[in-house]
Amino acid sequence: KAGVTQTPRYLIKTRGQQVTLSCSPISGHRSVSWYQQTPGQGLQFLFEYFSETQRNKGNFPGRFSGRQFSNSRSEMNVSTLELGDSALYLCASSLDRSSYEQYFGPGTRLTVT
């Protein structure tokens, strides 16, 4: 079974631009969570989607948003990029909301210049 895939793997953007990251969960998995990983803040939870609905949200500004499609694929969007948004963005999928086994993708490395 294929793992979690994330595209693109690397991205360079300029301050003020916006970016969209994509995540395809493991086949059959319906819950997708997003995390931001930085050297200073570590791994921080962004949001969780299940059945195309946001179920949980971390403490991030409204510039960070996401969505989930009917096939469970998910996208996250960051608008008006800031230098501090440079990070590794990780997507994790799990079977459903009662399963706490999360499987992570390789991440998207975003650099904001």
Partner 1 sequence: AQSVTQPDIHITVSEGASLELRCNYSYGATPYLFWYVQSPGQGLQLLLKYFSGDTLVQGIKGFEAEFKRSQSSFNLRKPSVHWSDAAEYFCAVGVKGQNFVFGPGTRLSVLP
Out of 29, 30, 48, 110, the only residue in the binding site for partner 1 (CB under 8 A) is 48
Out of 2, 14, 53, 100, the only residue in the binding site for partner 1 (CB under 8 A) is 100
CB nearer to partner 1: pick between 80 and 99: 99
101 vs 54: CA distance, rounded Å: 19
* Contact status: 90 vs partner 1 (CB under 8 A): yes
Exposure string of 29-56, with b = 16+ CB inside 10 Å and e = fewer, is bbbbbbbbeeeeeeeeebbbbbeeeeee
Q: Which residue is associated with the tokens 């179920």? A: 55
Out of 18, 38, 51, 56, the only residue in the binding site for partner 1 (CB under 8 A) is 56
* Contact status: 4 vs partner 1 (CB under 8 A): yes
Contact 52, 69 (CB under 8 A): yes
Which residues make up the interface to partner 1 (CB under 8 A)?
4, 33, 35, 42-43, 45, 48, 56, 58, 90, 92, 100-107
